Structure 1
Amino acid sequence: MLVPPLSRSYSAVVTTLRGAGCVFAEDEADLLISTARDPGELATMVEQRVRGLPLEHVLGWAEFCGTRVSVDPGVFVPRRRTEFLVGQAVRLAPPGAVVVDLCCGSGAVGAAVVAALGRGELHAADIESTAVRCARRNVASAGGQVYEGDLYEPLPFSLIGRVDVLVANAPYVPTEEIGLLPPEARDHEPLVALDGGADGLGVQRRVTAGAGQWLAPGGVLLIETSERQAPLTVAAFAHHGLDPRVAVCEDLDATVVIGTRPL
């Protein structure tokens, strides 16, 4: 669907977005109009949104934990529910914590944790080069480092046994359910950030298996999962020597499994 050149007319943008099926057309129009630098850019942004690009990819940013996080096209968009993961990590982190963010995507989670703590040592990693480039911009203010590679593989050995807080928003959608995701996710976000394998827990199990080596005594691993999958995640934590528990936020429909490395 081609979008004709638009002025900064709120009603014209709302009408176009509503016609494309955008449920929150008014809110999206406000964001697009306030972000576009001129009518031509606005028309391009509206056309991208009409074609199904996630709003965050069109804007170039997402609102997360009260701040704007850069989100490039092809990078996983941080979800509102993941703010619960951040809150749990902050609550458990000691002052000046060493924080590691695996499967970091845009780097939003690790950056938000360290920002809330006020200070800390941040390391993040992702297997996708596009995500790594985006994350490096988002963690710069925290003085963080971002590495490209598979889970723990690219992390410096100096972190072994020193990590106070290990967070992972690893993919947890079962492979056969990928097709049920909204088109914005399945068509525009990297499959590696969505597909968790046959039961959705393939990557989670790999994160859990390696956590004990990297965590400091008393350090914690926090993984976002679903209410349905949480018992299996808990079992994986226990199998690898972590003391697990489950935290739930009904308002955000968020479930986090937390595992502590025994002292």
Structure 2
Amino acid sequence: MTTTDPTEAVVLRLRAAGCVFAEDEARLLVDAARTADDLDVMTQRRVDGEPLEVILGWAEFCGLRIAVDPGVFVPRRRTAYLVEEAVAVTAEGAVVVDLCCGTGAIGAAVASRVPGIGLYAADIEPAAVRCARSNVEPIGGRVYEGDLFAALPAELRGTVGVLIVNAPYVPTDEIAMMPPEARDYEPLVALDGGFDGVEVHRRVAEHAGQWLAPGGHLLIETGESQAALTAAAMSAHGLLAHTSTSDEWYCTVAIGRRPNDCQPEG
């Protein structure tokens, strides 16, 4: 009697659909499916372009299993570099804010590496807030819904040691060129960075100084072509700014520090 390996059939379907990592994805789908019918449906969803992480209900990020719900921005592997840069400037017990948090993966990853932080996260999308709560609240963090700083408790003003932001930075005109799994399944507000990709970064930089503690850091993931603009937005509002790029992660982060002896503009 010949036993048919379901993984092989899934690999063939995924390859035909253009999935680059068909073998890895097939194994994950087979492991997650409860029945043959489940596997068929899940495979078809992936063939149709739905993000694998949404189909599985989770994403691996910085060694953590992060819950991912439909309609929520999926954490990217490259953002591990933003986490690394944030961890490097996060003191034990610091107040950390994950703004535009999506799933809350960034804040959760920093909390897993720096003990005792006070973790807060916020997003404008209700679906993201619900998802982030499932990832952040079990580790003692709090999640708020609203537009950037308007979502945060007023008592955090001037106390934030590290403000981490993965806001959208794709220029509006380039959204149509994004992969379908992002363009068709993730919220536009999590992708569209405005005419040059830096509109949200400017809004964050304008008010960040009011929320950072003296010596506190603002870190924003940005595109290599937008990095100078993101850093300039920080400098324009009194932060000491520079950029850092990782060839390994293919990621660029703009970093601004509030001076110890003055209140930046904003």
Q: Which residue of 2 aligns with 1:4?
A: none
Residue by residue over 1:63-122, the C-alpha shift from the partner in whole angstroms, topping out at 9 and shown as x without a partner, is: 100111111111001111100000111110111110001100000011111111022111
Name the CA distance, whole Å, in 2 between partners of 1:37 and 1:261: 51
Does residue 123 in structure 1 map to residue 114 in structure 2? no
Please tell me whether residue 190 in structure 1 is matched to residue 190 in structure 2: no
- Of 112-121 and 171-180, deviating more is 112-121
Q: Which residue is equivalent to 1:37?
A: 34
Equivalent residues of 2:137, 2:143 under 8 A apart: no
Partner of 1:239: 236
Find the partner of 2:218 among 211, 218, 221: 221
8 Å CA contact 2:239, 2:258 repeated in 1:
yes
Contiguous gaps of at least 5 residues in structure 1: 1-6
TM-score (norm 1): 0.96
Aligned to 2:182, the other structure's residue is in SS state helix
Match of 1:18 among 15, 19, 30: 15
State the 1:226 CA deviation: 1.2
Secondary structure of the 2:149 match is coil
Count of aligned pairs between the two proteins: 257
Map residues 125-164 of structure 1 onto 2, 5 A cutoff.
125-164=122-161
1:230 to partner: Cα distance: 0.8
Contact kept in structure 2, 1:8 and 1:33, CA below 8 Å: no
Tell me, in whole angstroms, the C-alpha distance in 2 between the residues paired with 1:21 and 1:256: 31
Q: Between the two proteins, what is the percent identity of the paired residues?
A: 61
In structure 1, how many angstroms separate the alpha carbons of the residues matched to 2:55 and 2:208? Answer: 36
Instruction: Give, in whole Å, the separation in 2 of the partners of 1:222 and 1:9.
Output: 44
Tell me which moved more, 203-212 or 29-38: 29-38
* Unpaired segments ≥5 residues, structure 2: 261-266
Q: CA deviation at 1:141?
A: 2.8
**1:180 is matched with which residue?**
177
**1:28-177 to 2 correspondence within 5 Å?**
28-177=25-174
For the Cα contact (< 8 Å) 2:100–2:165, is it kept in 1? yes
Contact 1:8–1:39 (CA<8 Å) still a contact in 2?
no
Are the aligned partners of 2:59 and 2:66 in contact in 1 as well (CA < 8 Å)? Answer: yes
**CA shift digits 1:123-157 (9 cap, x unpaired):** 11000000000000011232111111100002101
